[in-house]
A = this chain, B = another copy of it.
C-alpha cells in the first residue's frame, strides 16, 4: 500500500466515524414528541416516525402534485425537515411560530448537520432552508404533505388535538389550506372531510 492510499484510507475511516456520530445524534428525534397520536395508538407521535410517514406519503401522493416536482428531493427534504427539533422541540402549528423558535431550529439543524464530514452541512442546510422558505415546487409539495398526517390523526382519532387545544373550524381550514399550494385535489378532499365533521357537530370542543 502506498503512502497516499494509506492516507486516503485513514481519511475514509475518519469520515465514516464522523457520519456514525451523526447517525447516533439524530436518534434523539425519536424522543421529540408531537401534538397528535397515530391512528389507533394511545400515545403521541414522535418526530422520527413522523418523518418516515411523510416521506412515504410524499412518494405515494407524488402524482397529485400540481407542479413538476422531483420526488427524490422532496423525500430528502422530509428526511431532514425536523432535525432542528432535537434542540428546539416541536411546536404546534396553531400557535404562531415565533422568530426565536425558528432561529433555534435553524441553529439546531446547523449543529446536527455539522457533525457530518465534507461539505454536507452546506448541501443539506440549503435543502432545509429551501423547505422552510416554501418558495419552490419541491418545498411547496413537501410542506403540503407534512400537514396531511396530523389531519388524518384528528379525522380518524376523535379530533383529539383540535379538541384539546380548542381549535376552531376556521383555524383548521386556514392553517392547513397551504396543502392546496402543493395539490389542489388533495386539499379539496381534506377540506370537505374537515368541514363535514365540524358542520355535523362531531368536533365537540
What residues make up the interface of A, taking CB atoms closer than 8 Å to B?
9, 12-13, 15-17, 19-20, 22-24, 26-31, 38-41, 45-46, 48-49, 51-53, 55-57, 59-61, 63-64, 72, 75-76, 79-80, 116, 120, 148-149, 152, 156, 185-186, 188-189
CB distance from A49 to the nearest CB of B (A): 4
Q: Are A152 and B23 in contact (CB under 8 A)?
A: yes
Q: Which residues of B contact A46 (CB under 8 A)?
A: 49
* Interface pairs (24), CB distance under 8 Å: A12-B64, A15-B63, A16-B64, A17-B189, A20-B152, A22-B60, A23-B148, A23-B152, A27-B38, A29-B52, A30-B38, A30-B41, A30-B45, A31-B38, A31-B40, A31-B41, A48-B48, A48-B53, A49-B52, A52-B52, A52-B55, A55-B55, A60-B116, A72-B75
Q: Are A41 and B64 in contact (CB under 8 A)?
A: no
Q: Which of B13, B24, B56, B185 contacts A26 (CB 8 A)?
A: B56
20 new A-B contacts at CB < 8 Å, known A52-B52, A56-B79: A12-B185, A13-B185, A16-B61, A16-B186, A19-B60, A19-B64, A20-B189, A22-B60, A24-B39, A24-B152, A26-B53, A27-B39, A31-B40, A48-B53, A49-B49, A55-B55, A59-B76, A60-B120, A72-B75, A75-B79
Query: What separation, in Å, do the CA atoms of A88 and B40 have in the docked complex?
Result: 18
Query: What separation, in Å, do the CA atoms of A13 and B186 have in the docked complex?
Result: 8
Name the residue on B nearest A149 (C-beta): B23
Query: What separation, in Å, do the CA atoms of A26 and B189 have in the docked complex?
Result: 20
Q: Are B23 and A57 in contact (CB under 8 A)?
A: yes
Q: Which of B9, B41, B60, B188 contacts A23 (CB 8 A)?
A: B60
Q: Are B61 and A79 in contact (CB under 8 A)?
A: no
Q: Which residues of B contact A156 (CB under 8 A)?
A: 24
Query: What separation, in Å, do the CA atoms of A116 and B51 have in the docked complex?
Result: 20
CB distance from A61 to the nearest CB of B (A): 6
Q: Which residues of B contact A80 (CB under 8 A)?
A: 56
